[in-house]
Structure 1
């Protein structure tokens, strides 16, 4: 057992004999899923990476959620994170990253985030709070939370970010993801993005683009 605050799955690099600190990706699942949901995606990433897939703190419909939704602006397509829940999850993730660096011998200078849906929204917020903490970020089918959309932090310049959207996504419309891309480009991040066939899920074309992005930057 470790002292990492959030429940998680850890997958060590294939070369377990190497004692040097290795790069890692922290995986953040979507609403109603769990820490095993994105493991098939993580399994396609470079073998040199530690994978630490975190479980969100609150139970929901057989899975877990990072935060409740604020629907005051309209329906699901206009939702925002509940501020109190969001803050709690952001803090828990940061604490978990720090603890995992010590527990698993990770290279703190080569930490990436990969998030889907709520996990993507959370990942982008973490990046904007502390750009220097993360070497790269993959955010799939998410958006910039309104409370973070105006941030312009030091250290974001040239930070590699991949943002993916679904052309037929009815949960998080492509327009919200495109707005995140525009804002990240405005503040100087090195943004790669794509719109992919299908709805609120990661299809083969999107997965291929993610693997290519991570392989070029993570090791």
Structure 2
């Protein structure tokens, strides 16, 4: 398990090495804040006053909020306050997740109770952060990688009034989210950006096709940025996300 996650996160950071402005080793990381339902780090604290929208970064299972700091640094702007969120379940010394997955049967079986609790905490965080930083109701964008993307999809499909947009990197939609979604007319307020590596061996790219097909049944055509890569956030997909986000209200 540990070797697998090491390989995953190494690939993630290598994707940024040449093109992303990384936080220098001598620079102090943003402090971990624990005043809301989930712990988080403010990526751009200078925008803590005056921002018009929130961008919450949701990491993958076994990772932590530090993994997506480079992504947040690239997407932060004067109108967007970026919070990198730590998932609630402790899975290792610096590994966290929203829910556990059991692969013993040969197929992934997720802990439904943990997933629901993670959704509850995430919704609480969205409300609390919006109130604390004076963000208009519903002006929250969720950027998720892997399990974080799964959570972003779930909240958007079941509580669309709370979400303005979703940026899903290398994720998938749970069957439960599709089965118990809100009315299509409500979900149409949400903007969707999807990105997936064609050679992803953790969550294959057909999950992106599946998500796109489902959204189209609701009358929604998402923006899709595929790339020649694996289970990662690539430089090209991040650039596409930056352009997409800049066009959103």
TM-score normalised according to structure 2 size: 0.79
Question: 1: CA distance between counterparts of 2:62 and 2:189?
Answer: 33
Q: Which residue of 2 aligns with 1:58?
A: 89
Equivalent residue of 1:107, what SS?
A: coil
Q: Does 1:204 align with 2:204?
A: no
Q: Which has the higher helix share?
A: 2
List gaps (5 residues or longer) in structure 2. Answer: 1-32
CA RMSD of aligned residues (A): 1.9
Equivalent residue of 2:132, what SS?
A: helix
List gaps (5 residues or longer) in structure 1. Answer: none
Alignment partner of 2:190 out of 135, 159, 162: 159
Equivalent residue of 2:65, what SS?
A: coil
Question: 2: CA distance between counterparts of 1:73 and 1:178?
Answer: 25
Alignment partner of 1:4 out of 36, 47, 50: 36
TM-score normalised according to structure 1 size: 0.89
Write out per-residue CA displacement over residues 78-131 of structure 1, whole angstroms, 9 at most, x where no aligned residue.
x24320110010000011111111222223232111000000000000001111
Q: Which residue of 1 aligns with 2:136?
A: 107
Q: Does 1:84 align with 2:113?
A: yes
Question: 2: CA distance between counterparts of 1:46 and 1:3?
Answer: 22
8 Å CA contact 1:24, 1:106 repeated in 2? yes
- Structure 1 position 178, deviation (Å): 1.2
Superposition map of 1:70-219 within 5 A: 70-71=102-103, 74-75=106-107, 79-154=108-183, 155-157=186-188, 159-217=190-248, 219=249
Q: Which residue of 1 aligns with 2:67?
A: 37
Q: Which has the higher strand share?
A: 1
Question: 2: CA distance between counterparts of 1:184 and 1:14?
Answer: 36
Answer 1 or 2: higher relative contact order, Cα 8 Å, separation at least 6.
Answer: 1
Matched length:
213
Q: Which residue of 2 aligns with 1:26?
A: 56
